[in-house]
Amino acid sequence: MAKQGAVPTDYIEFAVSDNARTKAFYAAAVGWRFTDYGDSYCEFSDGQMKGGFDASIPVVNGGPLIVLHADDLKAAARRVTDAGGRISKPEFAFPGGRRFQFLDPDGHELAVWCQV
């Protein structure tokens, strides 16, 4: 539950160059589900949070790092690379766990972490 007065994160949008390619990547890499809204916009859901892929705006990389959670980090890394992603930072330890970072087909960098 959000603290009174806090504004919780509710939705994340990515600019993408190709919705079909992006959906195929994220379905294979992290298991997201999708709902299309017209030709250039697609909503994704991980079962807890939703976001969107927007092919109508230019792709710009950088900005906040989105961090996903997995119980098995090595299996998650295999899924990402098998789906066509590129590991940008191999697995490393940080306070509270381990993680790796990857680039999706449009160059957006995300991380996946697990508790140790």
* DSSP string for residues in 60-91: ---SSPEEEE-S-HHHHHHHHHHTT-EEEEEE
User: What's the one-letter identity of residue 31?
Assistant: G
Calpha distance 74→54 (Å, rounded)? 30
Mean pLDDT of 98-108: 97
List the structure tokens of 85: 């992603």
Quote the mean pLDDT of the chain: 93
| pTM of the entire predicted model | 0.86
Question: What pLDDT shows up at residue 102?
Answer: 97
List the structure tokens of 27: 């379905």
Q: Are 62 and 106 in contact (CB under 8 A)?
A: no
Instruction: Work out the number of other CB atoms within 10 angstroms of the CB of residue 63.
Output: 8
Q: Are 17 and 59 in contact (CB under 8 A)?
A: yes
- Go through the domains of the chain in sequence order and give each one's CATH number: 11-115 (3.10.180.10)
Q: For 6-49, what is each residue's pLDDT tens digit? A: 777 789 999 999 999 999 999 999 999 999 999 999 999 999 99
Beta bridge partners of 115: 97
pLDDT surpasses 60 at 1: no
H-type alpha helices, 1-116: 19-30, 73-82
Calpha distance 45→86 (Å, rounded)? 22
